[in-house]
Structure 1
Amino acid sequence: MGFITVKNLWKEYGQQVVLENLNLEVERGEFCTLVGASGCGKSTFLKMLLGQDQPSRGDLKLVGQPFPAEPDRNRGIVFQRYSVFPHLTVRQNVLMGLELEQKPFLGKLFGAQRRQALQQVDEMLEAVGLAHAGDKWPHELSGGMQQRLAIAQSFVMKPRVLLLDEPFGALDPGIRADMHELILNLWKETGTTIFMVTHDLNEGFYLGTRLLVFDKIRHDPQQPEAFGATITYDLPIGQTDRRLYDSIESSVSRTARALSA
């Protein structure tokens, strides 16, 4: 039994089919990158993994049990836009999740519990390179530093599954390279299972252990919503030659043109 199992999964909104017949098995600690044209259901799949959305048909299981219907502390997410609290300092941003988990009604920790939580926060800020910025406000940080903060917020909760929805898409190339190194280091240290959506095929091949290509293999110009995307390639990264890379790039580009027509 895999850590995460997807079997005959479909997602439909009324007459619109977004995903059709997804089948996938992911082991604990894998790093899966998801690529494909815009509109091929990659972010929808992340929402189902998070618990924000539910499959229309099929099975989505975590260690043999249905995924929890609501987001919980076992699943973290980082978006392209920096999801931080502007009214809290860097340190307070990272502390908030731990406080809400342990004291959901008060939202505050005291005494030994607070000292222990702050130690975790400071260790995480050190790991993401923000130890010097603990007392700063989010608006005082650069884009790359804000994204480091968002990553720290997720990793401090020690989620079993981390979902990344184009987390580096708004960053400059040099900063993106630094963020790639950061996320790979944290993944190796924690063993977290990661799913990351990216529109950059090179980034998809560079990061992680496995590349999943979402594509529409059926098209009807008269009924564009009749068919959904599925996983057309499921590749162990490091075992892919240039010809297959070119084939994937061509397929993604062709689907993007069809969707925009």
Structure 2
Amino acid sequence: MSALLNLRNVWVEYGDKIVLEGLSLDIAAGSFVSVIGPSGAGKSSLLRMILGQEAPTRGTILLDGEPLTPECGPDRGVVFQRYSVFPHLSVLHNTLFGLECERAPFTARLFGARRRAAISEAEEMLAAVGLGDSLHLHPAEMSGGMQQRLAIAQALIKRPRILLLDEPFGALDPGIRADMHALITRLWSDYSLTVIMVTHDIREAFSLGTRVLTLDKRRHDPHAPHRFGAVVAYDLQLTKRSPAHTTTDDSNGITIDINDNN
């Protein structure tokens, strides 16, 4: 797999507080990268930079070899832990809204054949996330799992290449969470996505990811704790095969190649 994203010596600083320092990564197209680490280690800052919500203080981020501009583009979709859905719109119109904004940027409203085509696309996407029979419900009538399915449909309707997940399943019950894991794995494959997911759940990180990154501070100064940022402490490549000289977790058939970025 070729590198889709390249981060080169990326620093994130807020005033005199350093959050990330000297981060360098290559993220392959089609990979599922789980990002873990303690609170304050810069996991969400990393997602915001890739999304385009903010720019690094120093360093560069490349998408397909071109500098990533600090603006949210249609090639990147995002799903947050809190359901980012419009409470006054139905399931269908929540999903349709992104297409209307893209294709009619001045009015956010499509008409005639263009609207019918967009509705068909929205219905197809909602069927893909398991909401094909819930088109006319409003968010207040839906469970948390259904609302998160809707948020995923919103993120995918414009066919992004990269899907960013910020603790997307943290508020869900265990049974619903397992269903969402199966859903996101299927969508990752069906839509040829590159997924970058922040999670605090270690089991989730390893069960879903093809790669697990641990962000953490390697340097500490008790007199100035804010002056050192997080780095990639561990970079674990996971595969489904078990070649010689690797460590395999027999409970799930995952092979782990460990790169300790010390």
Q: Same-fold call, TM > 0.5?
A: yes
Query: Matches of residues 117-132 of structure 1 in structure 2 within 5 Å?
Result: 117-132=118-133
Q: What residue is the counterpart of 2:57 in the other structure?
A: 56
Pairwise mapping of residues 69-148 of structure 1 onto structure 2 (< 5 A)?
69-148=70-149
* Alpha-carbon distance, 1:2 to partner: 2.1
Provide the C-alpha distance between the structure 1 equivalents of 2:41 and 2:247, rounded to a whole number of angstroms. 22
What residue number does 2:252 align with? none
CA contact (8 A) 1:91 1:134 kept: yes
CA contact (8 A) 1:184 1:208 kept: no
Among the aligned pairs, what percent are the same residue?
55
The letter for the 2-side match of 1:51 is: G
Shift of 1:226: 0.7
Stretches of structure 1 lacking an aligned partner (at least 5 in a row): 243-247, 249-261
Distance in 2 between the 1:179 and 1:157 partners?
A: 20
After superposing the two structures, state which structure 1 stretch, 21-30 or 178-187, moved more: 21-30
Question: Where does residue 184 of structure 1 map in the other structure?
Answer: 185
CA apart distance, 1:54: 0.7
- Tell me the distance in 2 between the aligned counterparts of 1:198 and 1:208: 11
For each residue in 1:146-180, what CA deviation from the matched residue of structure 2 results, as whole angstroms up to 9, or x when unmatched?
A: 00000000111101111100000000010000000
Could you say which residue in structure 2 is the equivalent of 1:168? 169
Amino acid at match of 2:77: G
Residues 240 and 22 of structure 1: is their aligned pair in 2 closer, same or farther, counting only changes over 3 Å?
A: farther
Q: 1:254: which partner in 2?
A: none
Distance 1:21 1:90, change over 3 A: same
Does structure 1 residue 18 correspond to structure 2 residue 19?
yes
Deviation, structure 1 residue 241: 4.9
1:3 alignment partner, SS class: strand
- Which residue number corresponds to residue 234 of structure 1? 235
Alignment RMSD: 1.7
Q: What SS does the aligned partner of 1:170 have?
A: coil
More strand by share: 2
Letter in 2 for 1:201: I
Does the residue aligned with 1:199 lie in a helix, a strand or coil? coil
The alignment status of 1:212 with 2:213, answered yes or no, reads yes
Distance 1:240 1:228, change over 3 A: farther
* Alpha-carbon separation, structure 1, partners of 2:189 and 2:235: 22
1:240/1:44 CA distance change after superposition, 3 Å: farther
Which residue pairs with 1:153 in the alignment?
A: 154
Contact 1:81 1:167 in 2 (8 A): yes
1:32 counterpart = 2:58: no
Task: Give the structure with the higher percent helix.
Answer: 1
In the other structure, the counterpart of 2:4 is 3
Q: Give the corresponding residue for 1:65.
A: 66
TM-score normalised by length of structure 2: 0.90
Q: Is the 8 A contact 1:19 1:228 kept in 2?
A: yes
In the alignment, the residues of structure 2 paired with residue 94 and residue 8 of structure 1 have an alpha-carbon distance, to the nearest angstrom, of 37
CA distance in 1 between partners of 2:117 and 2:236 (Å): 42
Mapped to 2, the partners of 1:240 and 1:189 lie a distance apart of 29
Partner letter of residue 144 of structure 2? G
**Following TM superposition, by how much is the alpha carbon of 1:68 offset from its aligned partner in structure 2, in angstroms?**
2.0
Task: Report SS of the residue matched to 1:163.
Answer: strand
Letter aligned with residue 188 of structure 2: W
The DSSP-based 3-state class of the residue aligned with 2:185 is helix
User: Normalising to structure 1: TM-score of the pair?
Assistant: 0.91
In 2, the alpha carbon distance for the partners of 1:21 and 1:240 equals 29
